[in-house]
Amino acid sequence: MKWYGKYFKVGILFSRAGIATQILLSAGNDLFLVDTGDGTLRDLIQQNIDLNRIKAIFFTHGHADHVSGLFAVLSQFRNMERMQKVEIVYPEGTTSIAHIIQAFKKSISQTLFSIGCQQISTSQTIQVSGITMKAYQMTHYAAVGHHKLLYPDIAMGYRFSFEGESIAITGDTGLCQNLKDLVKGVDIALIDSTLQDSEVTEERVNKLHLSEQKAREIGKLCRLYIPIHSSSPESNSID
């Protein structure tokens, strides 16, 4: 699935709940990844993406299905002798992403490229290679098994702006006011749509993930929305 604005583009490389999510933004000649779940490098190569054009990697949160492909992407940067710096942006207090970066640096002694790390907090706005990003704290719990809730975790949704066009990516989230503020008025929103009708409870929708129905309701706040993080076996291809 992909969307083309006049200047800004977004493609979903893959997004399936519990397996992987990786999203690609294009702004001018630059590319940006949002989350790097398992298989991100494979998906980039299959789409013939020029990895040298990737300027930054943004993470919505630190759960495995959103971060486990980072080591492979960084390793490929090293193997191809990339020289440009890559920025990695993630929510303040998230430990898994920092640990992956540390593990990469410890296991790979020399690289031609450098890694810049920025930890961000809610409502913070930053600029990276011509795009502007504002962070919105989402409501999302860690869970195991069949949506067994454990504890509230750190998660962000992002609004990206470039040349007057805007894209919102919710990441994983339950229903909250910040979600509505994030999505309202953007050109396109990629919205968590994990829960199927048979899985919906009030607690899950408020603390864990949106249902397909709730995603449609939230999607009315923007010009166009695309569901992501589905529980169905079909992947969302960038094609």
* Residue 107, helix vs strand vs coil: helix
Q: CA-to-CA distance for 137 and 128, rounded, in angstroms?
A: 20
User: Count of residues for the chain?
Assistant: 239
Looking at the chain, which runs of residues are DSSP E strands? 2-4, 8-16, 20-27, 30-36, 54-58, 86-91, 115-120, 125-128, 131-137, 140-144, 148-153, 156-162, 165-169, 188-192, 225-228
Give the side-chain half-sphere CA count within 13 A for 187.
16
What's the pLDDT score for residue 2? Answer: 82
pLDDT digits (tens, 9 = 90+) for 6-53: 999 999 999 999 999 999 999 999 999 999 999 999 999 999 999 999
Classify residue 198 by its DSSP letter. Answer: G
Pair 76, 47: CB distance under 8 Å: no
What's the pLDDT score for residue 235? Answer: 42
Residues 2-228: name the CATH superfamily. Answer: Ribonuclease Z/Hydroxyacylglutathione hydrolase-like (3.60.15.10)
Q: CA-to-CA distance for 111 and 100, rounded, in angstroms?
A: 16
Residue in 110, 168, 100 with CA at minimum distance from that of residue 134: 168
Q: 0.85 cut: is pTM over it?
A: yes
Which residues of the chain are under the pLDDT cut of 50? Answer: 235-239
